[in-house]
Amino acid sequence: MRAFSNTLFTFLDCMQELQLLLKRFFGYTSFRPLQAEIIQRTLQKKDSLVLMPTGGGKSICFQLPAIYMQGTAIVVSPLIALMKDQVENLIANGIPATTLNSAMPEEERHQVRQLCIQGKIKLLYISPEGIMSELHWLLPRIDISLIAIDEAHCISQWGHDFRPEYTQLSVLKEYFPKVPIIALTATADKITRTDIVNQLRLQDPQIFISSFDRPNLSLTIRRGLNKKDKIGAIVHFINKHRHQSGIIYCISRNITETLAEELSEYSIRAVPYHAGLSPAQRAKSQDDFINDRIRVVCATVAFGMGIDKSNVRWVIHYNMPGSIENYYQEIGRAGRDGMKSDTLLFYSLSDLLLHRRFAEESGQKDVNLQKLNRMRRYCEADICRRRILLSYFGEETDQDCGNCDVCKNPPQRFDGSILVQKALSGIFRTEQQANMRMLINILRGSEQSELLEKGYDKLKTYGVGKDLSYKEWKEYLYQMIQLGYIEIDYASSGYLKVTPLGRKVLFGEQQAQLAVYQKSNDFALPTKKGGYKYRPIRPIQSNSIDETLLDSLQQLRKQLAEREQTPAYIIFSDAALADMVDKKPITLDEFSEIRGVGQLKLDKYGKVFVSLIRFVLRLPKKEL
């Protein structure tokens, strides 16, 4: 670890060294989008706010500069479980890191403090309460390289994870004005963003927003299934994902328990998880899940924030979530290692009604109802689901994803450019002062009194959309919103605004494909194939060498994990194993090229893994 020195600093040298450190400590050969820029910014001792989806690779953004810079990085994190996971990962890669938390005996805390003061720790993970209690004695005695605030949205009352302790973090800038702060979150909305910047008093921060796209997650929605069919579909789904970990999110504690019980009737071992269980029970379920002793958890939203498990392969929503933010965060727990993962959501009217009631009883009725409505439209849409999600998070894209149920079973489409042009020019002619109802009335040439009072019957677009019914227009306008041509301005009574992408269609630079309006919007249910009985697990006997190799590698990883009492994904991620199957390294040199193999893991595991690969490939034994 080399001290950061301004005089020696040249951009290229620095980038080269960072790349070397990335490989040496994390086993990765290239940065993901934005990571390098964010790291450079911190090295220049400037503040940043980083918005990246779950699994986007936020940790490297502060862990790598922490390794590169002199001193100790302070990482603020809301949950002990989260800290523990990251610290285990760092130590497994040979990086001196530790936590300081109230669950540790005082003697151990004393030791940690001493190590930090001696400069022997590169990353210190600490809770916001911990920061406050160490503010006067410990922190001034440490050479602090940077301060990272993880899950920074917890500072905002607007969000769903508000933690009052986070608001005290504003003192950090005051006490350590020269130390760069990097705030990180997966929550993207503008209010939360502004709250973070203001409350942490970030100085002239650069805001990095990475794409929220998670192309490795497949998106599927099933509408209107009754309970029996839902169970059938779930059992079917899980049997297709045997030996893989997954979470089923349920709307109530009760459902988590009955569902886990019902699944057991099909020989699927599942545990319930909700806030009503004892802390010990919850800790055990979580631990069993992380260590692959149990594959299926039926959980309320209480489950997940402390879970950094990178190989969750699927997420099912037994009930519809109340907002797209919640939904996206929950499905985001699958596939953090970037590998293909599946998500399935069941949508029913009764869930919708239940959520409406929650929203109406909440302190923020209007906002929550709007959020619910967007969630509902997402479930009902028949256009690429990923495009809807991305547009919701403010990203425009003009391509379908090919990995959602709509893309896989496409509805009939037509060139809707003229319809879009009619609607958008209608919006412009009202100077973007019309809500959806008014716009439809204008397009359909209604004689409604408010419309006449405003003189909208004189507009050129008045009556140009008479041929379509009110419902049809509504459906098409929703599609236009979902495709990112129109935005709803909730702040100004829901007026419609034309987006830059919309202008392209309006001015004929781009075509707009709409989905034909269908009166009955029910999906045909998948036919239930008789008997979803679970088959007992047998060791794989495959003709495919890749399958046999993967299975053997998984077994080795599991044994190592048991021996080291650590989760299997800390040894190697699923992505690393997949890369081994792909590249079949038969020397240590080749093994060092595998994704996720840094120096320490090469030394520690290289020989056993290479020997196993040689064995499976029936190559002669070799001294390694």
Give which of 392, 302, 290 is closest to 336, Cα–Cα: 290
337 binds, among ligand ADP, Zn ion, none (CB under 5 to 8 A by kind): ligand ADP
Give which of 475, 483, 480, 509 is closest to 496, Cα–Cα: 480
557 binds, among ligand ADP, Zn ion, none (CB under 5 to 8 A by kind): none
54 binds, among ligand ADP, Zn ion, none (CB under 5 to 8 A by kind): ligand ADP
250 binds, among Zn ion, ligand ADP, none (CB under 5 to 8 A by kind): none
CB 93 → ligand ADP: shortest distance, Å? 10
Three-state DSSP class for 382? coil
57 binds, among ligand ADP, Zn ion, none (CB under 5 to 8 A by kind): ligand ADP
Residue closer to Zn ion by CB (options 242, 408) is: 408
With CB under 5 A as the rule, give the number of residues binding Zn ion. Answer: 6
Residue closer to Zn ion by CB (options 478, 605) is: 478
> By the criterion CB under 6 A, which residues form the site for ligand ADP?
28, 31-32, 35, 52, 54-60, 310, 336-337, 573
Residue closer to Zn ion by CB (options 267, 511) is: 511
The torsion angles phi and psi of 98, rounded to 5 degrees, stand at -160, 170
407 counts as binding Zn ion under rule CB under 5 A: yes
CB 56 → ligand ADP: shortest distance, Å? 4
Segment lying near Zn ion (by CB under 5 A), choices 319-327, 382-390, 514-522, 599-607: 382-390
Residue closer to ligand ADP by CB (options 214, 429) is: 214
Contacts 24+ apart (CB under 8 A), 483-488: 483/383, 483/387, 483/391, 483/512, 484/387, 484/390, 484/391, 484/396, 484/397, 485/420, 485/424, 485/512, 486/423, 486/424, 486/427, 488/436
Residue closer to ligand ADP by CB (options 32, 201) is: 32
CB 62 → ligand ADP: shortest distance, Å? 10
404 binds, among Zn ion, ligand ADP, none (CB under 5 to 8 A by kind): Zn ion
Residue 211, number of CB atoms within 10 A of its CB = 15
Residue 57 makes CB contacts below 8 A (sequence gap 6+) with 32, 35
434 touches 450 (CB < 8 A): no
Residue closer to ligand ADP by CB (options 112, 126) is: 126
Percent of the chain that is helix, strand, coil (3-state, to 5): 45, 15, 40
Residue closer to ligand ADP by CB (options 87, 250) is: 87
161 binds, among ligand ADP, Zn ion, none (CB under 5 to 8 A by kind): none
Residue closer to Zn ion by CB (options 69, 401) is: 401
- The two three-digit tokens of residue 87, written as one number: 């610290």
Give the burial class of 213: count Cβ atoms within 10 A of its Cβ; 0-12 exposed, 13-18 middle, 19 or more buried.
middle
32 binds, among ligand ADP, Zn ion, none (CB under 5 to 8 A by kind): ligand ADP
Residue 520, number of CB atoms within 10 A of its CB = 5
DSSP class of 23: I
CB 384 → ligand ADP: shortest distance, Å? 24
343 binds, among ligand ADP, Zn ion, none (CB under 5 to 8 A by kind): none
282 binds, among Zn ion, ligand ADP, none (CB under 5 to 8 A by kind): none
Residue closer to ligand ADP by CB (options 32, 223) is: 32
Segment lying near Zn ion (by CB under 5 A), choices 378-386, 468-476, 512-520, 608-616: 378-386
The correct pick among 404, 424, 501, 553 for binding Zn ion (CB under 5 A) is 404
Residue closer to ligand ADP by CB (options 459, 597) is: 597
Segment lying near Zn ion (by CB under 5 A), choices 41-49, 144-152, 302-310, 402-410: 402-410
The correct pick among 152, 384, 439, 560 for binding Zn ion (CB under 5 A) is 384
Q: Which sign does the torsion angle of CA 85, 89, 94, 97 carry?
A: negative
CB 292 → ligand ADP: shortest distance, Å? 16
CB 34 → Zn ion: shortest distance, Å? 24
27 binds, among ligand ADP, Zn ion, none (CB under 5 to 8 A by kind): none
Residue closer to ligand ADP by CB (options 134, 151) is: 151
221 counts as binding Zn ion under rule CB under 5 A: no
Sequence length of the chain is 624
Going from the C-alpha of 529 to that of each of 36, 146, 229, 384, 533, the distances in angstroms are 50, 57, 11, 28, 11
Residue 105, number of CB atoms within 10 A of its CB = 8
Going from the C-alpha of 223 to that of each of 348, 514, 530, 561, the distances in angstroms are 6, 21, 21, 40
Residue closer to ligand ADP by CB (options 31, 314) is: 31
- The two three-digit tokens of residue 367, written as one number: 């906002």
Helical segments of 8-136, H only: 11-21, 35-43, 58-68, 80-92, 106-117, 128-134
Residue 293 CA to chain centroid, in angstroms? 24
DSSP state string for 1-19:
-----TTT--HHHHHHHHH
Residue closer to ligand ADP by CB (options 315, 501) is: 315
397 counts as binding Zn ion under rule CB under 5 A: no
Q: How are beta strands 513-515 and 413-415 bridged, if at all?
A: antiparallel
CA–CA distance, 479 with 477 (Å, rounded to integer): 5
Residue 158 gets the label, from left (phi > 0), alpha (psi -120 to 50) or beta, of: alpha
CB 484 → Zn ion: shortest distance, Å? 14
401 binds, among ligand ADP, Zn ion, none (CB under 5 to 8 A by kind): Zn ion
Segment lying near Zn ion (by CB under 5 A), choices 241-249, 392-400, 423-431, 546-554: 392-400
Give the burial class of 117: count Cβ atoms within 10 A of its Cβ; 0-12 exposed, 13-18 middle, 19 or more buried.
middle
Give which of 61, 31, 67, 60 is closest to 48, Cα–Cα: 61
407 binds, among ligand ADP, Zn ion, none (CB under 5 to 8 A by kind): Zn ion
State the residues that interact with Zn ion by CB under 5 A.
384, 386, 400-401, 404, 407
